[in-house]
Amino acid sequence: MRNKKQQHVVGFYKDHGQTRPITKSVQQLNRTKAIQRPRQFQGVSPQQVAAEKEKRRKEQQRMTIEHNINSLEKLLQKLNNHLEQRGHDVEEMKKQYDLAQQQQDLKKALQIQNQMNRALTTVQLMAKKRDAVQNKLQQLKSM
């Protein structure tokens, strides 16, 4: 009985038609709460969950697109630099070809001409690749 005197009534409940008190000890009442400003759980609506998932998915897609755009811009810059360098190489070969023809060194002129043809083929392929990268970059930027 002594224990019952130390407990305080904090509420009531019905048990088989009888109203009984809900009691707590002084120690429980004086206990400090670990959670500051606790709130009751409000529940989760399926619409909120779906909207959050959609928002995360769109954010992830946006990040992926930005990463792809950055990668393509770097690739485009490399291709342009490489094409410029190849253009200078072809111009230099053209000068050597003209010089070999003036000196009437036909064997050397033929070798230079073959090198120029290979270099021009490479330049054409790189130009096609650069154009494809530019088109893809424009598609991604328009998204």
| pLDDT over 70 at 1, yes or no | no
Residue 14 lies in a domain: no
DSSP string, 31-75: PPPSSSS--------HHHHHHHHHHHHHHHHHHHHHHHHHHHHHH
Residue 20 lies in a domain: no
In terms of pLDDT, which residue wins out, 69 or 8? 69
| pLDDT over 60 at 27, yes or no | yes
Q: How far is CA 59 from the centre of its chain?
A: 8
Gap between the Cα atoms of 138 and 131, Å rounded: 11
* Average pLDDT rounded to a whole number, residues 31-48: 77
User: Residue 8 contacts by C-beta under 8 Å, 6 or more apart in sequence?
Assistant: 23, 24, 25, 26, 29
Residue 46 lies in a domain: no
In terms of pLDDT, which residue wins out, 7 or 81? 81
For residue 117, what are the domain limits?
A: 61-142
pTM higher than 0.85: no
Bridge partners, residue 19, by sequence:
14
Q: Report the number of distinct structural domains present in the chain.
A: 1
Q: What is the pLDDT of residue 74?
A: 92
Q: What is the pLDDT of residue 106?
A: 84
Residue 118 lies in a domain: yes
